[in-house]
Amino acid sequence: MQDVAKRLDKAFQAFYRRVKGGEKPGFPRFKPASQYDSFTYPQGGYKLDGKKLKLSKIGDVRMKLHRPLEGKVKTCTIIQKNGKYYACLSAEVEPKQLPYCADAVGVDLGVRTLAVTSDGEHFKSPAYLRASEKRLKRLQRSVSRKKKGSNRRKKAVHVLARLHEHVANQRKDYNHKVSRGLVNRYGLIAFEDLNVLGMTKNHNLAKSIVDSGWSQLVSFTTYKAESAGRVVKQVDPRNTSQLCSSCGVVVKKLLKDRKHHCLCCGYVADRDENAAFNILKRATA
């Protein structure tokens, strides 16, 4: 009940902040039981006992511990998602900082390639949503054919939700690996400060942008860098693809042009690598 009060307070604080900021207020709405998919033990009422988790008012629950617990456990949140139950234990631990590293890198985010660094490293875009698109369409049609409110429709919705969750987990896993690699190798990591929400209004690129998970990659890299004692900077994205990283002259290009060729100084490079150099220059200026 303490956590329910905290959630309610958080919703109203966000509402007042939006009103004060002149945004669309969005008054907090009542959440029915179907949308309330988690609850939290804020102080006690839970205990780890080998392969079991003891929960107050519920009892012993068998579990799979993903990794050994470190630090002092502060809260336990039970989450129900697509027929599976998860216990999220938040713990207070000392940050493990990595050794000092003076290397810096600029990262250009893209659609064809997820990320290109100023060191010339290319991280491919796996396009997990595109790979599962045919199956998703088939399952969506199956949901549409079922009668609303029927048990068969509920089962079809559950199967569709499981596939969406699988795609999201694939994307999350890949972005975790890329962000961990960047944080381990560089002391300064620079990204563009992109307006991703605005860019998705381009209907030709919206699906590819969402499938790439740019914001997720930046978010994962930022929190990993913070705990490791590294720095992440976001710079103005204006003209990073058009400027020549060698002489600073604007070289106009269309989206289909994948090579940067400066007629002023003769510098030739991959378009994304040139942009990554410009991002790094702005971050270190």
For residue 277, which of 251, 246, 232 has the smallest C-alpha distance? 246
Q: Which of 49, 70, 92, 108 is catalytic?
A: 108
Cα separation, 180 vs 188, in Å, equals: 13
DSSP of 78-146: EEEETTEEEEEEEEE----PPPP---EEEEEE-SSEEEEETTS-EEE---HHHHTHHHHHHHHHHHHHS
Q: Helix or strand or coil: residue 172? A: helix
Q: Which of 23, 193, 272, 273 is catalytic?
A: 272
DSSP label of 243: B
Residue type at position 212: S
Q: Is 236 a catalytic residue?
A: no
Q: Is 108 a catalytic residue?
A: yes
- For tokens 């690996």, name the residue: 177
Q: Which of 165, 192, 193, 273 is catalytic?
A: 192
Active site residues: 108, 192, 272
